[in-house]
Amino acid sequence: MPHSESPAESDDSPIPMIDVDQQQQEDAVAESTTADVPEPQEPADEDVDMVDSNATTHTHATTQALEAESRAVSQAEAQDHQETPVSEAATSAPSESKPATGVKLEELFDEMDSDEDDEFPTTKAAKREPASSPDLLSSQSDMEIDLHEASDPEVMRTFYQRLFPWRYLFQWLNHSPTPTNDFGHREFAFTLQNDAYLRYQSFATSDLLRKDVLRLMPSRFEIGPVYTANPRDRKTLRNSSAFRPLSKELCFDIDLTDYDDIRTCCAKASICQKCWQFITMAIKVVDTALREDFGFKHIMWVYSGRRGAHAWVCDKKARALDDQKRRAIAGYLEVIRGGAQSGKKVNLRRPLHPHLVRSLDILKQHFQADVLEAQDPWRTEDQQEKLLALLPSDQKQLVSALRNKWASSPDRPSTLKWADIDTVAKTSTAKNFDTKSLLDAKQDIVLEYTYPRLDIEVSKKLNHLLKSPFVVHPGTGRVCVPIDVKRNLEGFDPLGVPTVQSLIREIDEWKKPEIKNGEDEKHTADWEKTSLKGYIEFFRSFVLALMKDEREVKVKREREEEGGGGGEGMEF
């Protein structure tokens, strides 16, 4: 069904919304927002003294063991997938979870807690475009046919049954091949086909999650925090404070709609390679800061399926951050507020913070080609006034000289206009011309047109939910694949990301390779037959590296506990 109305506002919503848990939810929110906002520029050292350099010691054996373990289970799982008849998977509910028709009404919320992504029905309904609006989509007719199919329950069922990487998703959230509370106490939230929003779902294993997804066929599902208790048991706890969020990945959300005032190629939900460069720049800046300033290692970037990207910082120390520290990190990275505010967005103190000096170095490389040439943001007279307004207010002579020069050559491209600023300034006859203030203003302009625009609400709260990697965007049919930023950030093409329909075709078209003499026939999982293969392999290696670090930290702590006792003994 079209995602054109948020559940809260939908009069004809087939499932009545009862907000029994509203108060509990509001309490949780209130609790999490009482702390004072800390100094934005100095969160890192004491609060986020992250990475233990000892933890980088490589133990090949561990990796190999994890890989073997993981391979064994995934092969078993792949076979299990193939052998599960559709009808059985669709109708049999796991005993631990509630059957679809018996969903408790109090489980259904009329409030979307996850407003991070207005590609979907949320409280930001006013900004949203209907997914099927033809001007937002490719005009290719086969694409349109595909889009109708993307919401087809059978297409989705096949995807979740045969292609979705359940095992790796489990290992990613569980941090170990065997089930722990990191997975079991983790909240999942489902957006059902009727737009009902089902929160506080939890599962002991990946298979139970998979079965419930196949049973409920949500249009997407989101991942929330790990709680102190099983989210399904939250009402049986005597003390309501016994149920609180414990940990979650630190997340970031970048969306191209926040660039609508500076991108000229597209607007709203549509994107192209040109404006995707803003996302590429943003990923570079944020990823670099998270690694260099905060010491995080396990950062996964995921395409949001249409016009943005999410970051999941998975390091154990990132997951344990409380709201105050999350707000501090978000504040550190936030220089430009997204949205439609008019006027100058950047006015930075000098000397620039080292994070901004470094970001400027990264962004300068993109400014000429990706902004001035590709976007040509100041071509028209209206647009050029925006540029002139960003020049120092005390240099009226320069501004009027530029305005006169450009009046005689309409449609002068932005690259030349940018160069004109220096040329005209050099010939300026003004006394005491302040070259420093002009340089500062030009740096501010570069940052205004390139610096990441973050939706920091996503980053600030431990209990914020974010769409899971590898779900399918219902509007585009594209899979929310991870982006290998180390190897192929520049080469990532959001429009080339496989759609659920193309993947299912690829499974059908796949041909078994010929078996040479003496070779055993290998089992090939369905995802290996498709262009999802590279993305899942990348995800698998990311998850293995994370699990390896977690295991080493655990082993190290256990050793320290044993050794620590001995050490104390030595002092006697």
Q: Which is nearer to Zn ion, 237 or 495 (CB)?
A: 495
Q: 334 catalytic, yes or no?
A: no
Q: Quick check: 237 and 228 in contact, CB under 8 A?
A: no
Give min distance, CB of 527 to Zn ion, in A: 30
What does each C-alpha distance from 38 to 34, 135, 365, 459, 514 come to in angstroms?
Answer: 12, 44, 33, 15, 63
Amino acid of residue 174: N
| Residue 187 among the catalytic residues | yes
Of residues 269 through 298, those in contact with Zn ion by CB under 5 A are 272, 274-275
Q: Which is nearer to Zn ion, 195 or 370 (CB)?
A: 370
Q: Which residues contact 85 (CB under 8 A, 6 or more apart)?
A: none
Size of the site for Zn ion (CB under 5 A): 5
Helices H / strands E in the chain, number of each: 22, 12
DSSP secondary structure of 203-250: -SSHHHHHHHHHHH--SEEEEEEEESS-GGGTTT-SSGGG--EEE--E
297 versus 307: smaller Cβ distance to Zn ion: 307
- Contact flag: residue 136 with Zn ion (CB under 5 A): no
Identified binder of Zn ion from the candidate list 17, 265, 346, 439, rule CB under 5 A: 265
Nearer to Zn ion, 266 or 504 (CB): 266
Catalytic residue among 146, 255, 293, 484: 255
Closer residue to Zn ion in complex, CB, 17/265: 265
| Backbone phi and psi for residue 185, each to the nearest 5 degrees, phi listed first | -100, 15
Q: Does 266 bind Zn ion (CB under 5 A)?
A: yes
Catalytic residue, from 119, 253, 315, 323: name it. Answer: 253
Q: How far is the CB of 273 from Zn ion (least distance, A)?
A: 7
User: Segment contacting Zn ion (CB under 5 A): 136-144, 262-270, 324-332, 374-382?
Assistant: 262-270
Closer to Zn ion at the Cβ: 207 or 260?
260
Is 253 a catalytic site residue? yes
Q: Find the binding residues for Zn ion in span 162-191 (CB under 5 A).
A: none
Assigned token pair, 444: 């501010």
Could you tell me whether strands 299-303 and 308-313 are parallel, antiparallel, or unpaired per DSSP bridges? antiparallel
Q: CB of 19: closest distance to Zn ion in angstroms?
A: 40
For residues 146 and 150, what is the distance between their CA atoms, to the nearest angstrom? 6
Q: Which of 118, 187, 261, 550 is catalytic?
A: 187
Q: What share of the chain is helix, strand, coil (3-state, %, to 5)?
A: 50, 10, 40
Q: How far apart are alpha carbons 24 and 20 in whole angstroms?
A: 8
- The residue range among 15-23, 40-48, 257-265, 465-473 that interacts with Zn ion, by the rule CB under 5 A, is 257-265
Torsion of CA 331, 332, 335, 338, to 10 degrees: -40
Q: Does 268 help bind Zn ion (rule: CB under 5 A)? A: no
**What residues act catalytically?**
187, 253, 255
Residues making contact with Zn ion (CB under 5 A) = 265-266, 272, 274-275
